[in-house]
């Protein structure tokens, strides 16, 4: 999760393992958090207004270029203190509400059923995955770094070298960029085209491009490098397995990106917090510093120290001297003698190829967190998102939480190819029928109707408090971020303060929480949210808390307090 928070216990190689014994003890870490928050604060100053405006309202996210709210209703306390959501109460409440054995009021919902439409052929998902794409595992890669570090140029050029952009198109970009007086941006335009597509809201690949290495199929996620980055990062890069951090080697430029106000540290820390453990650092624009080894080493030593503090293992960070503009060390090893005289390591592509493919939770019940919703030309509508767990087949019935309704998967598309099935790790587009598009929004989770995701408005979590100016007290308003969800919430209770390394309770019911503390808190969301315990699904059980433009804490869900239980097809909100 966070530096310290995410370190694995001995013998536990699971990335992102959360273990108190490895919560960072040293003060350097706390100082680091202080620094981070200052960074985030200064960087986010212009966004303070935005987030503070959002807080009391409904979270808004851009969906296919248009603003859309999430489909969660504000729960209201009904008769007998039963919490129900407005639409559910209206649409689902039976004429005479039934009572559960414990006196809880039940709201009847359709009994979930497995696919009834197209006959579902049993498949051996692991064997199918092996077969797919010549057995190449899928890797989701995000490119991060300070604005102007050369991210788009680097990746655009790499895609060109890989043959993903034909010569004619590249020529067109060169001509157009020259005409626009931005000749040096020609390669960057390769990725910008995806941006246009995204704005039109017609494709599934929201800022995503696919390319192949010898042993992997890579989904490249294009994360914007400017100010809006943090909220986008949390929703977008949460889906990444590995990252390429691009830094500008030019004198003064690396420093500008790395010091206060730059985005290098912030991005690296955020991807680490979001579960990324393997990182390639492209020390870019080496042409600007005459391919000097001394400059490369200087950057490595500055960055290395920081990345270690941020929770990256030294053995999982790889530095490559590159030039996105001239193409050195991108798809093939460089032949520039000034560089080869001291660097004989892998090219960027070789490094991406060498990343370990993550373990996917294909054995767990199906989960997909919606990142986009749009109307298709045919019947039904489409949602996109990454399958976090399990798999689906065309014809399956899946459950959307909220609104707790089932629909049928009419089609599955992966990288613009229609498929019969898709599994954990895949960024897919699903064509759905049997449900109104209006009910689905960014942040909804589709799941296996037999084993639905937890839905709650109240949960407990272990959090690590970043540097904050105002201590957190009961009732503190926050914005809860995880996956594609961004939801107003409050810190309902401060349960305990924990020892940083042992996890032992130091104080029960503290009055406030201040910087650097580890604590158990109870969080109350305005509307029901779908999430999981961290121990069951890491991806759906970790989150960040933001407050007026700053990330103030990161945490993991330990207990769901008011699970919107589904028992025998009945759903109720116990108080």
The contact set with ligand GDP (CB under 6 A) reads 145, 147-153, 184-185, 188, 225, 284-285, 287-288, 323-325
Q: Which of 81, 551, 536, 481 is nearest to 560 (CA)?
A: 536
Q: Which is nearer to ligand GDP, 151 or 500 (CB)?
A: 151
Cβ partners under 8 Å of residue 424, min gap 6: 360, 361, 362, 364, 387, 388, 389, 390, 391
Report, in Å, the least distance between residue 200 CB and ligand GDP: 21
Q: Report the nearest approach of ligand GDP to the CB of residue 486 (Å).
A: 24
Residue 325 beta carbon to ligand GDP: minimum distance, rounded to whole angstroms: 4
- C-beta of 77 vs 184, nearer to ligand GDP: 184
Q: Smaller CB distance to ligand GDP: residue 148 or 298?
A: 148
Give every CB contact of residue 559 below 8 A, 6+ residues apart in sequence.
Answer: 459, 460, 533
Q: Which is nearer to ligand GDP, 30 or 233 (CB)?
A: 233
User: 246 or 392: whose CB is closer to ligand GDP?
Assistant: 246
- Alpha-carbon span 339 to 494, nearest angstrom: 55
- How far, in Å, CA of 534 to CA of 481, rounded? 15
DSSP designation for 297:
H
Confirm if 459 and 559 have CB atoms less than 8 A apart: yes
In the complex with ligand GDP, the residue whose CB is nearer, 267 or 272, is: 267
Least Å distance, CB 153 to ligand GDP, is 3
Closest approach, Cβ 264 to ligand GDP, in A, equals 11
Q: How far apart are CA 326 and CA 456, in angstroms?
A: 52
Please state the closest distance from residue 324 (CB atom) to ligand GDP, in A. 4
With contact defined as beta carbons under 8 Å apart, do 249 and 299 qualify?
A: yes
Q: Decide: helix, strand or coil at residue 279.
A: strand
Q: What is the CA radius of gyration of the chain?
A: 24
Name residues whose C-beta falls within 8 Å of residue 442's C-beta, 6 or more positions apart in sequence: 61, 63, 68, 70, 235, 370, 371, 372, 373, 484, 485
Nearer Cβ to ligand GDP, position 33 or 286? 286
Least CB distance to ligand GDP at residue 426 (A): 27
Min dist. Cβ of residue 125 to ligand GDP (A): 37
Which CB sits closer to ligand GDP, 244 or 485?
A: 244
Q: Take residue 314 and report the two structure tokens written for it.
A: 């030294």
């Amino acid at each position: 999760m966070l530096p310290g928070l995410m370190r694995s216990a001995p013998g536990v190689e699971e990335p992102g393992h959360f273990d108190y014994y490895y919560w960072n003890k040293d003060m350097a870490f706390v100082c680091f958090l202080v620094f981070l928050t200052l960074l985030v604060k200064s960087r986010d100053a212009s966004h303070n207004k935005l987030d503070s405006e959002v807080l009391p309202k409904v979270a808004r996210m851009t969906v296919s270029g248009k603003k859309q709210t999430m489909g969660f209703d504000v729960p209201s306390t009904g008769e007998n203190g039963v919490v129900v959501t407005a639409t559910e109460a209206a649409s689902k409440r039976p004429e005479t509400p039934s009572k559960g054995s414990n006196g809880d009021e039940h709201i009847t919902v359709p009994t979930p059923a497995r696919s009834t439409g197209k006959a579902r052929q049993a498949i051996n998902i692991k064997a199918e995955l092996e077969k797919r794409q010549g057995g190449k595992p899928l890797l989701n890669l995000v490119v991060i770094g300070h604005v102007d570090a050369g991210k788009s140029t680097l990746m655009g050029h790499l895609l060109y070298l890989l043959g993903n952009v034909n010569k004619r198109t590249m020529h067109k970009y060169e001509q157009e960029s020259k005409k626009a007086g931005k000749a040096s941006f020609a390669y960057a335009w390769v990725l910008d085209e995806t941006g246009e597509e995204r704005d039109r809201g017609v494709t599934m690949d929201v800022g995503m491009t696919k390319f192949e290495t010898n042993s992997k199929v890579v989904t490249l996620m294009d994360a914007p490098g400017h100010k809006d980055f943090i909220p986008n990062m949390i929703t977008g890069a949460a889906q990444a397995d590995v990252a390429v951090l691009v830094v500008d080697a030019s004198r003064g430029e690396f420093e500008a990106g790395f010091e206060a106000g730059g985005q290098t540290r912030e991005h690296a820390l955020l991807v680490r917090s979001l579960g990324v453990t393997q990182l390639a650092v492209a020390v870019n624009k080496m042409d600007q510093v005459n391919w000097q080894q001394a400059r490369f080493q200087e950057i490595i030593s500055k960055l290395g120290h920081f990345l270690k503090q941020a929770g990256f293992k030294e053995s999982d960070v790889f530095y490559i001297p590159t030039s996105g503009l001239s193409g050195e060390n991108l798809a093939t090893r460089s032949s520039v003698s000034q560089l080869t005289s001291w660097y004989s390591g892998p090219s960027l592509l070789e490094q991406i190829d060498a990343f370990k493919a993550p373990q996917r939770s294909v054995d767990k019940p199906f989960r997909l967190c919606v990142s986009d919703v749009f109307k298709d030309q045919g019947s039904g509508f489409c949602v996109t998102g990454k399958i976090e767990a399990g798999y689906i087949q065309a014809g399956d019935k899946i459950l959307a939480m909220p609104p707790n309704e089932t629909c049928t998967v009419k089609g599955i598309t992966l990288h613009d190819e229609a498929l019969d099935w898709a599994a954990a790790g895949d960024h897919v587009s699903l064509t759905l029928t049997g449900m109104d598009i209006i009910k689905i929004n960014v942040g909804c989770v589709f799941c296996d109707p037999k084993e639905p995701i937890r839905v709650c408005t109240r949960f407990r979590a272990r959090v690590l408090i970043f540097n904050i100016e105002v201590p957190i007290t009961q009732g503190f308003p926050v914005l809860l971020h995880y996956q594609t969800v961004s939801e107003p919430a409050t810190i309902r209770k401060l349960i305990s303060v924990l020892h940083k390394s042992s996890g032992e309770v130091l104080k029960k019911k503290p009055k406030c929480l201040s910087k650097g503390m580890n604590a158990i808190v109870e969080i109350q969301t305005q509307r029901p949210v779908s999430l999981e315990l961290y121990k069951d699904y890491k991806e759906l059980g970790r989150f960040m808390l933001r407050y007026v433009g700053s990330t103030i804490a990161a945490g993991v869900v330990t207990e769901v307090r008011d699970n919107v239980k589904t028992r025998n097809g009945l759903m109720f909100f116990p108080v």
